[in-house]
Amino acid sequence: MPHDLTARHLDYHDTDRAMAAMEVNYPDGTSTGLHAHPRGQLLHAIAGVMIVRSPSGSWVVPPSRALWLERGLEHEVRMIGEVKIRTVFIDDGVVPNLPERTCVVEVSPLLRELIVAAARIPLDYPAGGRDERLLQLLVDELRVSRVLPLHLPLPRDLRLARVCRTMMDDPADTATADEWARRLGVSAKTIHRLFTRETGMSFAQWRQQARLLQALSLIAQGRRMIDVALDCGYASQSAFAAMFRRHFGIAPSAFYR
């Protein structure tokens, strides 16, 4: 699959135009396999949810959002539901002032329509014409799009990676930093220092983020809200809903609307 994917994208990278867009649809459960692109990529789905993983972290990308992927970043995309991808490859060596790091951005109604329209533009669109102006407007909208907190950074330290893998595999795990310190034979202070250094988050913040992103994945699969809450370590549906609203500003049931 990764080799087929690379071959499919070659024309979109080899073009002498600074931007190129494409559309591709995937069934539920499909994975692209680990791959990378020589251009920056604005990855958006008009239907379905994408879980994007890389060695540096993971992101949840619902239809109201898009993921800006920095050039050369190895990543894998896993599909939840039937996913209809509309994506734009951008040469950041030619197009300035793009995001410096991979991030999830809010997709306004205008940006969504520009992405959909861009996917219909031929690779050899004429310079200075309507198609080029449309793509330039798309970039303008990307530059002003709000970055959203849908990223879970992964550590490189092997000890901390063990902690994080456990919390990702079992979000309901309640082991404290002190308990993890005993298991790893280090001090709790070391655990807290490693989390801050490796992820930019505290132990509690990282676990909360892992739980919330797992919750988004489960909600996308149509799971009952009470089951999502309990599977992600919350004592009740109301406690989960309160934490979700504090983090995202809306109720869990409204996130994908």
pLDDT recorded at residue 8: 60
Percentage of the chain exceeding pLDDT 90 = 87
- Pairing relationship of beta strands 65-69 and 147-148 according to DSSP bridges: unpaired
Q: Same CATH topology for 2-148 and 154-254? A: no
Q: Give the pLDDT band of residue 154 (cuts 50, 70, 90).
A: very high
pLDDT of residue 248 exceeding 90, the answer is no
Tokens of 20: 């190129």
Q: Thinking of the domain 2-148, which architecture would CATH place it in? A: Sandwich (2.60)
Mean pLDDT score, 120-127: 93
Structure tokens at 81: 């539901």
Q: Are 229 and 239 in contact (CB under 8 A)?
A: yes
Residue 7 has a pLDDT of 53
pLDDT band at 89 (very low <50, low <70, confident <90, very high): very high
| Confidence (pTM) | 0.88
What average pLDDT is seen over the chain? 93
User: Can you give the pLDDT at residue 5?
Assistant: 54
Reference 37, options 60, 54, 49; nearest CA is 54
User: What confidence score (pLDDT) does residue 2 get?
Assistant: 46
Write down the pLDDT at residue 257.
73
Instruction: List phi, psi (to 5°) of 83.
Output: -110, 125
| Confidence (pLDDT) at 199 | 96
User: What is the mean pLDDT of the segment spanning 211-227?
Assistant: 94
Inform me whether the pLDDT recorded for 237 exceeds 90: yes
Angle in degrees, CA 155, 106, 148, rounded to 5: 30
* CATH code matching the domain that covers 154-254, chosen among 1.10.287.70, 3.60.20.40, 1.10.10.60, 1.10.10.10: 1.10.10.60
Task: Give 167-208 pLDDT, tens digit per residue.
Answer: 999 999 999 999 999 999 999 999 999 999 999 999 999 999
- The residues with which 66 forms a beta bridge, in sequence order, are 44, 105
Higher pLDDT: 176 or 249? It is: 176
The residues spanned by each domain of the chain are 2-148, 154-254
User: 32-87, pLDDT tens digit by residue?
Assistant: 999 999 999 999 999 999 999 999 999 999 999 999 999 999 999 999 999 999 99
User: Is the separation of the CB atoms in 102 and 68 below 8 Å?
Assistant: yes
Instruction: Give the C-alpha separation, 78 to 190, whole Å.
Output: 34
pLDDT beyond 50 at 3: no
